[in-house]
Copies of this chain bind each other. A is one copy, B any other.
Amino acid sequence: MIIMMQPGATPSEIDNVVAAAQAKGWQTHLSADSGQTIIGLQGQGQPLDSFALGQMPGVQDVTAITQKFKLASRAFQPENTTFQIGDVTVGSGRLSIIAGPCSVESREQLLETARAVKAAGATFLRGGAYKPRSSPYSFQGMGEAGLKLLAEAREATGLPIVTEVMSPSKVALVAVYADVLQIGARNMQNFDLLNAVGRAHKPVLLKRGLSATIEDLLMAAEYILAHGNKRVMLCERGIRTFDTKFARNTFDINAIPLLKELTHLPVIADPSHAIGVRRHVASVTLAAVAAGADGLIIEVHPQPDQAASDGDQSLTPPQFAGLMTQVRAMAEAVGRTV
Protein backbone atom coordinates (compact mmCIF):
# COMPACT_ATOMS: atom_id res chain seq x y z
CA MET A 1 0.00 0.00 0.00
CA ILE A 2 1.13 3.50 -0.87
CA ILE A 3 -0.03 6.54 1.10
CA MET A 4 0.48 9.93 -0.53
CA MET A 5 0.47 12.84 1.92
CA GLN A 6 -0.81 16.31 0.96
CA PRO A 7 1.81 18.93 -0.09
CA GLY A 8 1.38 20.79 3.19
CA ALA A 9 1.15 17.78 5.50
CA THR A 10 2.80 18.48 8.84
CA PRO A 11 5.45 16.22 10.38
CA SER A 12 3.00 15.19 13.08
CA GLU A 13 0.37 14.23 10.49
CA ILE A 14 2.98 12.11 8.77
CA ASP A 15 3.99 10.57 12.08
CA ASN A 16 0.38 9.70 12.87
CA VAL A 17 -0.02 7.83 9.61
CA VAL A 18 3.26 6.00 10.12
CA ALA A 19 2.20 5.09 13.63
CA ALA A 20 -1.19 3.85 12.45
CA ALA A 21 0.49 1.55 9.95
CA GLN A 22 3.14 0.32 12.35
CA ALA A 23 0.47 -0.36 14.96
CA LYS A 24 -0.91 -2.93 12.53
CA GLY A 25 2.46 -4.53 12.07
CA TRP A 26 3.59 -2.90 8.83
CA GLN A 27 7.07 -1.65 8.03
CA THR A 28 7.02 1.86 6.59
CA HIS A 29 9.21 3.38 3.94
CA LEU A 30 9.17 7.15 3.32
CA SER A 31 10.06 8.99 0.15
CA ALA A 32 9.34 12.47 -1.18
CA ASP A 33 7.98 13.39 -4.59
CA SER A 34 7.82 17.07 -5.62
CA GLY A 35 7.63 18.05 -2.00
CA GLN A 36 4.98 15.46 -1.17
CA THR A 37 5.78 12.68 1.25
CA ILE A 38 4.90 9.15 0.18
CA ILE A 39 4.62 6.36 2.72
CA GLY A 40 5.05 2.82 1.41
CA LEU A 41 4.04 -0.20 3.49
CA GLN A 42 5.78 -3.55 3.42
CA GLY A 43 5.76 -6.83 5.25
CA GLN A 44 3.03 -8.92 6.83
CA GLY A 45 0.90 -6.47 8.78
CA GLN A 46 -2.77 -6.82 9.56
CA PRO A 47 -5.29 -5.61 6.97
CA LEU A 48 -5.66 -1.84 6.78
CA ASP A 49 -8.83 0.00 5.78
CA SER A 50 -7.68 2.30 2.99
CA PHE A 51 -10.86 4.37 3.23
CA ALA A 52 -10.11 5.05 6.89
CA LEU A 53 -6.49 5.89 6.16
CA GLY A 54 -7.65 8.29 3.47
CA GLN A 55 -9.67 10.17 6.08
CA MET A 56 -6.65 10.83 8.34
CA PRO A 57 -5.48 14.45 8.49
CA GLY A 58 -2.87 15.28 5.86
CA VAL A 59 -3.51 12.22 3.69
CA GLN A 60 -4.17 12.89 0.03
CA ASP A 61 -4.54 9.47 -1.51
CA VAL A 62 -4.18 5.82 -0.62
CA THR A 63 -3.36 3.24 -3.27
CA ALA A 64 -3.67 -0.43 -2.56
CA ILE A 65 -1.07 -2.42 -4.38
CA THR A 66 -2.56 -5.82 -4.10
CA GLN A 67 -5.97 -7.31 -4.72
CA LYS A 68 -8.02 -7.87 -1.59
CA PHE A 69 -8.69 -11.45 -2.59
CA LYS A 70 -5.65 -13.68 -2.24
CA LEU A 71 -6.51 -17.37 -2.61
CA ALA A 72 -9.03 -16.60 -5.36
CA SER A 73 -6.57 -14.56 -7.41
CA ARG A 74 -4.66 -15.51 -10.53
CA ALA A 75 -1.59 -14.13 -8.76
CA PHE A 76 -1.97 -16.89 -6.18
CA GLN A 77 -2.78 -19.61 -8.70
CA PRO A 78 -2.18 -18.83 -12.37
CA GLU A 79 -3.66 -22.01 -13.82
CA ASN A 80 -7.41 -22.70 -13.92
CA THR A 81 -8.98 -24.60 -11.06
CA THR A 82 -10.55 -27.82 -12.30
CA PHE A 83 -12.18 -30.58 -10.32
CA GLN A 84 -14.03 -33.79 -10.94
CA ILE A 85 -17.67 -34.35 -10.04
CA GLY A 86 -18.95 -37.71 -11.21
CA ASP A 87 -17.49 -38.04 -14.67
CA VAL A 88 -17.46 -34.31 -15.40
CA THR A 89 -14.41 -32.09 -15.01
CA VAL A 90 -15.61 -28.65 -14.01
CA GLY A 91 -13.46 -25.85 -15.40
CA SER A 92 -12.14 -27.86 -18.32
CA GLY A 93 -12.74 -27.26 -22.02
CA ARG A 94 -16.03 -29.12 -21.70
CA LEU A 95 -18.94 -27.00 -20.50
CA SER A 96 -20.75 -28.03 -17.31
CA ILE A 97 -24.48 -28.03 -17.99
CA ILE A 98 -26.67 -27.85 -14.89
CA ALA A 99 -30.39 -28.11 -15.55
CA GLY A 100 -33.60 -28.83 -13.71
CA PRO A 101 -36.53 -27.22 -11.97
CA CYS A 102 -36.34 -24.20 -9.71
CA SER A 103 -38.11 -26.12 -6.94
CA VAL A 104 -38.50 -29.83 -6.34
CA GLU A 105 -42.27 -30.26 -6.30
CA SER A 106 -42.95 -33.99 -6.67
CA ARG A 107 -41.31 -37.30 -7.64
CA GLU A 108 -42.98 -37.21 -11.05
CA GLN A 109 -41.99 -33.64 -11.81
CA LEU A 110 -38.40 -34.21 -10.76
CA LEU A 111 -37.81 -37.58 -12.40
CA GLU A 112 -39.44 -36.50 -15.64
CA THR A 113 -37.27 -33.40 -15.74
CA ALA A 114 -34.12 -35.25 -14.75
CA ARG A 115 -34.54 -37.83 -17.50
CA ALA A 116 -35.32 -35.16 -20.07
CA VAL A 117 -32.34 -32.94 -19.28
CA LYS A 118 -30.04 -35.95 -19.14
CA ALA A 119 -31.26 -37.04 -22.57
CA ALA A 120 -30.67 -33.53 -23.93
CA GLY A 121 -27.10 -33.46 -22.65
CA ALA A 122 -27.14 -31.93 -19.18
CA THR A 123 -24.34 -33.07 -16.89
CA PHE A 124 -25.86 -32.00 -13.54
CA LEU A 125 -29.39 -31.89 -12.11
CA ARG A 126 -30.46 -28.80 -10.22
CA GLY A 127 -33.50 -28.51 -7.96
CA GLY A 128 -34.33 -26.52 -4.83
CA ALA A 129 -35.50 -28.23 -1.66
CA TYR A 130 -35.08 -25.10 0.48
CA LYS A 131 -36.30 -21.97 -1.31
CA PRO A 132 -35.43 -18.40 -0.35
CA ARG A 133 -38.54 -16.38 -1.24
CA SER A 134 -39.10 -12.68 -0.81
CA SER A 135 -42.55 -13.36 0.67
CA PRO A 136 -43.16 -15.54 3.74
CA TYR A 137 -46.43 -16.55 2.09
CA SER A 138 -44.75 -18.11 -0.97
CA PHE A 139 -43.86 -21.80 -1.31
CA GLN A 140 -40.74 -22.41 0.82
CA GLY A 141 -39.67 -25.76 -0.62
CA MET A 142 -40.17 -29.41 0.33
CA GLY A 143 -37.16 -29.54 2.68
CA GLU A 144 -35.57 -32.91 3.39
CA ALA A 145 -38.26 -34.73 1.42
CA GLY A 146 -37.06 -32.76 -1.58
CA LEU A 147 -33.46 -33.74 -0.89
CA LYS A 148 -34.48 -37.41 -0.88
CA LEU A 149 -36.19 -37.03 -4.24
CA LEU A 150 -33.03 -35.42 -5.61
CA ALA A 151 -31.00 -38.39 -4.43
CA GLU A 152 -33.50 -40.71 -6.07
CA ALA A 153 -33.20 -38.76 -9.33
CA ARG A 154 -29.42 -39.14 -9.18
CA GLU A 155 -29.87 -42.88 -8.77
CA ALA A 156 -32.16 -42.93 -11.78
CA THR A 157 -30.04 -40.80 -14.10
CA GLY A 158 -26.49 -40.71 -12.80
CA LEU A 159 -26.57 -36.92 -12.77
CA PRO A 160 -24.83 -35.26 -9.81
CA ILE A 161 -27.11 -32.99 -7.77
CA VAL A 162 -26.81 -29.21 -7.28
CA THR A 163 -29.07 -27.82 -4.56
CA GLU A 164 -29.22 -24.77 -2.33
CA VAL A 165 -28.41 -24.61 1.36
CA MET A 166 -29.70 -21.58 3.25
CA SER A 167 -28.45 -22.01 6.79
CA PRO A 168 -25.18 -23.08 8.47
CA SER A 169 -27.07 -25.62 10.57
CA LYS A 170 -28.38 -27.34 7.43
CA VAL A 171 -25.03 -27.73 5.66
CA ALA A 172 -24.33 -31.17 7.09
CA LEU A 173 -27.79 -32.42 6.12
CA VAL A 174 -27.75 -31.05 2.60
CA ALA A 175 -24.22 -32.35 2.07
CA VAL A 176 -25.48 -35.88 2.73
CA TYR A 177 -27.67 -35.71 -0.37
CA ALA A 178 -26.07 -33.12 -2.64
CA ASP A 179 -23.00 -33.25 -4.86
CA VAL A 180 -22.72 -29.47 -5.07
CA LEU A 181 -23.86 -27.00 -2.40
CA GLN A 182 -25.42 -23.90 -3.89
CA ILE A 183 -25.26 -20.53 -2.11
CA GLY A 184 -28.05 -18.25 -3.33
CA ALA A 185 -27.65 -14.64 -4.39
CA ARG A 186 -29.36 -13.29 -1.26
CA ASN A 187 -26.96 -15.27 0.94
CA MET A 188 -23.76 -14.31 -0.88
CA GLN A 189 -22.64 -12.29 2.14
CA ASN A 190 -24.11 -14.59 4.79
CA PHE A 191 -20.63 -15.08 6.19
CA ASP A 192 -21.49 -17.79 8.72
CA LEU A 193 -22.96 -19.81 5.87
CA LEU A 194 -19.85 -19.22 3.73
CA ASN A 195 -17.70 -20.43 6.60
CA ALA A 196 -19.87 -23.51 7.01
CA VAL A 197 -19.65 -24.56 3.35
CA GLY A 198 -15.96 -23.70 3.48
CA ARG A 199 -15.59 -26.51 6.01
CA ALA A 200 -17.80 -28.95 4.05
CA HIS A 201 -16.37 -31.64 1.80
CA LYS A 202 -18.52 -30.83 -1.19
CA PRO A 203 -17.97 -28.38 -4.06
CA VAL A 204 -19.82 -25.07 -3.86
CA LEU A 205 -21.71 -23.04 -6.48
CA LEU A 206 -21.60 -19.44 -5.25
CA LYS A 207 -24.10 -17.07 -6.85
CA ARG A 208 -23.33 -13.39 -7.16
CA GLY A 209 -25.53 -11.13 -5.05
CA LEU A 210 -28.01 -8.78 -6.69
CA SER A 211 -25.81 -5.77 -6.09
CA ALA A 212 -22.52 -7.43 -5.32
CA THR A 213 -19.51 -6.04 -7.12
CA ILE A 214 -17.12 -8.45 -8.79
CA GLU A 215 -14.75 -7.82 -5.92
CA ASP A 216 -17.50 -8.60 -3.38
CA LEU A 217 -18.10 -11.90 -5.15
CA LEU A 218 -14.42 -12.80 -5.07
CA MET A 219 -14.21 -11.85 -1.39
CA ALA A 220 -17.16 -14.11 -0.66
CA ALA A 221 -15.34 -16.93 -2.47
CA GLU A 222 -12.28 -16.07 -0.38
CA TYR A 223 -14.26 -16.95 2.78
CA ILE A 224 -14.93 -20.42 1.40
CA LEU A 225 -11.38 -20.93 0.17
CA ALA A 226 -9.89 -19.64 3.41
CA HIS A 227 -11.81 -22.32 5.31
CA GLY A 228 -10.23 -25.05 3.27
CA ASN A 229 -12.69 -25.77 0.48
CA LYS A 230 -10.94 -25.21 -2.84
CA ARG A 231 -13.77 -26.44 -5.08
CA VAL A 232 -15.73 -23.25 -5.72
CA MET A 233 -17.68 -22.31 -8.85
CA LEU A 234 -18.72 -18.68 -9.29
CA CYS A 235 -22.09 -17.92 -10.85
CA GLU A 236 -23.13 -14.71 -12.65
CA ARG A 237 -26.94 -14.52 -12.50
CA GLY A 238 -27.75 -10.92 -13.31
CA ILE A 239 -27.53 -7.79 -11.22
CA ARG A 240 -30.05 -5.21 -10.11
CA THR A 241 -30.07 -1.99 -12.14
CA PHE A 242 -32.42 0.89 -12.88
CA ASP A 243 -34.27 -0.91 -15.67
CA THR A 244 -36.63 -3.73 -14.70
CA LYS A 245 -39.51 -3.12 -17.07
CA PHE A 246 -38.83 -5.87 -19.58
CA ALA A 247 -36.40 -8.16 -17.76
CA ARG A 248 -35.96 -9.24 -14.15
CA ASN A 249 -32.25 -8.49 -13.92
CA THR A 250 -29.37 -7.16 -16.01
CA PHE A 251 -27.03 -9.95 -17.06
CA ASP A 252 -23.50 -8.68 -16.51
CA ILE A 253 -21.83 -10.30 -19.48
CA ASN A 254 -18.67 -8.27 -18.81
CA ALA A 255 -18.27 -10.22 -15.59
CA ILE A 256 -17.40 -13.37 -17.51
CA PRO A 257 -14.15 -12.19 -19.15
CA LEU A 258 -13.31 -10.07 -16.10
CA LEU A 259 -13.67 -13.01 -13.70
CA LYS A 260 -11.75 -15.33 -16.02
CA GLU A 261 -8.87 -12.86 -15.83
CA LEU A 262 -9.01 -12.09 -12.11
CA THR A 263 -9.50 -15.60 -10.76
CA HIS A 264 -8.69 -19.22 -11.51
CA LEU A 265 -12.12 -20.40 -10.37
CA PRO A 266 -14.67 -21.70 -12.91
CA VAL A 267 -17.42 -19.29 -13.96
CA ILE A 268 -20.97 -20.51 -14.53
CA ALA A 269 -23.72 -18.41 -16.16
CA ASP A 270 -27.36 -18.50 -15.12
CA PRO A 271 -29.35 -17.19 -18.10
CA SER A 272 -32.69 -18.07 -16.52
CA HIS A 273 -32.43 -15.58 -13.67
CA ALA A 274 -30.34 -13.21 -15.77
CA ILE A 275 -33.26 -12.21 -17.96
CA GLY A 276 -36.23 -13.93 -16.33
CA VAL A 277 -38.26 -14.36 -19.52
CA ARG A 278 -38.45 -17.80 -21.05
CA ARG A 279 -38.42 -16.76 -24.69
CA HIS A 280 -35.18 -14.82 -24.23
CA VAL A 281 -33.22 -17.44 -22.26
CA ALA A 282 -31.66 -18.85 -25.44
CA SER A 283 -30.13 -15.53 -26.54
CA VAL A 284 -28.52 -14.97 -23.17
CA THR A 285 -27.30 -18.57 -23.01
CA LEU A 286 -25.50 -18.30 -26.33
CA ALA A 287 -23.99 -14.96 -25.36
CA ALA A 288 -22.64 -16.43 -22.14
CA VAL A 289 -20.94 -19.29 -23.95
CA ALA A 290 -19.56 -16.88 -26.53
CA ALA A 291 -18.10 -14.72 -23.75
CA GLY A 292 -16.24 -17.64 -22.22
CA ALA A 293 -18.41 -19.16 -19.48
CA ASP A 294 -17.30 -22.56 -18.18
CA GLY A 295 -20.83 -23.77 -17.71
CA LEU A 296 -24.54 -23.00 -17.55
CA ILE A 297 -27.32 -23.41 -15.03
CA ILE A 298 -30.74 -23.41 -16.64
CA GLU A 299 -34.23 -23.85 -15.23
CA VAL A 300 -36.34 -26.55 -16.88
CA HIS A 301 -39.84 -27.63 -15.85
CA PRO A 302 -42.24 -30.05 -17.55
CA GLN A 303 -45.15 -27.60 -17.07
CA PRO A 304 -43.66 -24.16 -16.46
CA ASP A 305 -47.08 -22.57 -16.11
CA GLN A 306 -47.74 -24.84 -13.13
CA ALA A 307 -44.38 -24.31 -11.45
CA ALA A 308 -44.37 -23.39 -7.77
CA SER A 309 -41.65 -20.83 -8.51
CA ASP A 310 -39.91 -19.19 -11.46
CA GLY A 311 -42.14 -20.82 -14.04
CA ASP A 312 -42.01 -17.79 -16.28
CA GLN A 313 -38.30 -18.27 -16.86
CA SER A 314 -38.26 -22.09 -17.04
CA LEU A 315 -37.87 -23.88 -20.35
CA THR A 316 -39.89 -26.92 -21.25
CA PRO A 317 -37.86 -30.08 -21.87
CA PRO A 318 -38.25 -29.77 -25.65
CA GLN A 319 -37.15 -26.13 -25.50
CA PHE A 320 -34.13 -27.17 -23.46
CA ALA A 321 -33.26 -29.90 -25.95
CA GLY A 322 -33.47 -27.37 -28.78
CA LEU A 323 -31.27 -24.96 -26.88
CA MET A 324 -28.67 -27.69 -26.29
CA THR A 325 -28.34 -28.11 -30.04
CA GLN A 326 -27.58 -24.42 -30.34
CA VAL A 327 -25.19 -24.57 -27.39
CA ARG A 328 -23.22 -27.34 -29.07
CA ALA A 329 -22.78 -25.25 -32.21
CA MET A 330 -21.82 -22.24 -30.14
CA ALA A 331 -19.33 -24.20 -28.03
CA GLU A 332 -17.68 -25.44 -31.19
CA ALA A 333 -17.45 -21.86 -32.54
CA VAL A 334 -15.45 -20.84 -29.46
CA GLY A 335 -13.34 -23.97 -29.17
CA ARG A 336 -15.20 -25.71 -26.34
CA THR A 337 -17.24 -28.88 -26.11
CA VAL A 338 -20.43 -29.90 -24.35
Contacts and interface: CB of A to CB of B under 8 A. Distances in A.
Interface of A: 2, 4, 16, 20, 23, 29, 31-34, 36, 38, 40, 42, 46-47, 49, 51-52, 54-56, 60-61, 63-65, 68, 70, 132-138, 166-170, 186-187, 189-193, 210-211, 213-216, 219-220, 222-223, 226-227, 238-254, 256-258, 261-262, 274-280, 283-284, 286-292, 305-307, 309-312, 329-330, 332-334
This chain: copies in complex: 4
Contact of A211 (B134, B222, B242, B332): B242
Contact of A242 (B223, B241, B247, B279): B241
B292 A290 contact: no
Contacts of A226: 136-137
B190 A284 contact: no
B132 A290 contact: no
Contact of A51 (B34, B189, B276): B276
Contacts of A134: 68, 189, 216, 219-220
B254 A311 contact: no
For the residues of A in contact with B, the DSSP-based class is mixed
A289 B288 CA distance: 11
A4 to B, nearest CB: 6
Nearest to A220: B134
11 contacts: A4-B63, A31-B33, A47-B135, A47-B137, A134-B216, A136-B219, A186-B190, A239-B250, A243-B252, A251-B253, A254-B280
A307 B63 CA distance: 20
A323 to B, nearest CB: 13
Given A33-B40, A136-B219, A241-B242, 19 more contacts: A2-B2, A16-B305, A31-B33, A49-B312, A51-B248, A52-B310, A55-B278, A68-B134, A135-B222, A136-B226, A167-B167, A167-B168, A190-B193, A214-B245, A250-B252, A254-B280, A283-B292, A289-B290, A329-B333
